[in-house]
Chains A and B, each alone.
Chain A
Amino acid sequence: MALIRLQNISRCYQMGAETVHALRDVSLEIQRGEYVAIMGPSGSGKSTMMNLIGCLDTPTAGHYELNGTSVSDMDDNQLAEVRNREIGFVFQTFNLLSRSNALHNVELPLIYGGMPAEQRHQVALDALAQVGLGDRIHHKPNELSGGQRQRVAVARALVNKPSILLADEPTGNLDSKTGAEIMALFAELSRKGNTIILVTHEEDIAEHAHRIIRLHDGLIASDERQNRP
């Protein structure tokens, strides 16, 4: 069974008098354990696709099934619960809470998930150790380097053991060396069996993925698997 199943998904936005079709009747399946890159120029619909897959948004038409559950008709609170359980976000700008330390940032999804405090603490520590930041848990974001911040964000994304790791231009704000480190971390996470979806417009970043889906004008232009060396 596919982890992600998009069936005839459309998403329109009303921009004044004009209707913008960000996605037009798109169907797509992603299996558990896949490492997929979604590519396309700006305006191609890749952000919309990411928002829909990440359950931040719902389609205008079509059906979306995530992990066997239909999410296209859910309300705000149900979607929040699905995001909490099933999806780990990694953003281009890290989006850490600036006034909280690394540990608390990672604990946050667990708080919303309702995990008791002692257990939460241990789980968050484990997640930080997994991304190599076990010794930086009490540092605030502004005391960490860009790469370290993104690692905290990855730890936060992974802490709930989600079905999907959804990364939106994760290396966009990093220098190439740090970017490479983050991509190496993703590769390792993929080897460990995590499903990773990478949204990017950089070819060399997308090259890390096992499957590249290219969008153009709200349609899937190509969907190709590549054999990793």
Chain B
Amino acid sequence: MLTKLAGGRLFDPANGRYGEAADLWLHDDRIAADPGPGATPDAVHDVTGKVVMAGAIDIHSHIAGGKVNLARLLMGEEHERHRFAGHACGNDRVGSDRIGGGSGIATPSTHSTGARYIEMGFTAAFEPAMLGSNARHAHLEMSDIPYIDTGGYLVLGNDDFLLDLIASNAGQAAVNDYVAWMLTATQSLAVKVVNPGGINAFKFNARSLDLDEAGPYYGVTPRTVLTVLARAVYELGLPHPLHVHGCNLGVPGNVATTLDTIQAASGLPMHMTHIQFHSYDTAGDRKFSSGAAALAEAVNRTPTLSVDIGQVMFGQTVTASADTMAQRHTAPLAHPRKWLAMDIECDAGCGVVPFRYRDNSYVNALQWAIGLELFLLLDDPWRVFLTTDHPNGAPFTFYPELIRLLMDRDYRLAKLAEIHPDAPAHTTLGSIAREYTLAEIAIMTRAAPARILGLTDRGHLAPGASADVTVYSDLADRRAMFERPDLVFKSGRLVVRDGTLVATAQGCTHVVRPGFDELIERRIARHFDERIGLPIKHFRIQDAEIRHGAGPQLHPCQRREVP
């Protein structure tokens, strides 16, 4: 199948194209070079004057796994209010020819998740908190999400095995082998650390744990966990740096901890996630103010650092996190008033707290402003990513509105005038003139996410790349533009036309597989026998289990040494 997209304006920052008019060719599931005169495309779409980008990539969105599924059950009222009938379109795989049916906004069901993403022109989204003990579940769920590519970031840093390795001075090489073994066994793409050591400490009844505080039982500090893992990820040569959900999430004054955390990395690459929730200062009568300026300054001058924001948008959502310690502090604010918490398998935990962000709440209004402030004060769009930490700051379906806030200063100021009247005084948002350009949006949502995850054939439009393409009308109302693309192609197939699903498609699951010294397996096997109560072979996820036998897509790792 040869498809020609004729006359569009290509925004393809990875290949240095910023809006020039050019034809784009898709051959089967890949972008192709112009086949030259005489080629007879099977389909031609005239996209003259329209904006053409690669499919968007969401690097941090809680879309699958135990906590998401529990959140769906807790959010029953929302699911009853938002039910979707399936579309009959195509029949690729027996049983999945009705697509997009389900329910929910903040915690959409699998088919609805895939449908909402592809309708906005997103062709990949990554589950950023996959517990090893829950990995098989997460993969089962991800393979039931149509249209988009997925992958999971393995949560480490609160597992008793790793803390024991560190406490017993097993050495960095043993840690590296363990990390590599776990990534392989759980079919993961990256490593995430959540409140390093804190979730484990909470199991011993510690209710807080600072960066340099020794945790109970192991006596290991969060700083040590963080640096050991950052080094393991670096030395194993994973494409994605350690994905860090830091200490003290949501606590006023936590910007100091966040700045310390940047120092702790001491030059090792690190991705700090949902930094909006980690950017709070304590100025003013309410002892809650923006620390965005200081944090943005630190990120701007640290080239080894990348961040995503975790923007808050107003309305009902639910917070779902492995950070049981933080979630226990949030629980009294639950709206509706119900929440759940789990300790999980000597591995980590999960806490789910429904939440309604209100623009007339001083704190929520400031959270909203802090997120935007960060977006606008961070200079390098290659190191900042568009996220709402779905669903924790807002459902991912708010991205078009968020893009408009970033691209349209007048609109932003009008919104700033609507929030709690005391909030603007405690942020610099009102004084920031910057408007994101289409090129910057293309970097932040396509080229940069692919690069930071090591997905070499995604996020750009050069020949050989996956034919994941989105075509937008260049509307002045950027929200309307990004809400409803004209055309979306997934792996070369036209799946969305004028915002409506017209065919089915399935994405793939991305993984890394750094090698390890097999000696570590003996120690891990003993841990499984003696502690976890499960022979190790039942823990390991085989390739045949991924996407109904299709198997994962592997990305290479390049081992390196810390200079």
The judgment on whether A and B are partners is no
Interface residues of A (CB under 8 A from B): none
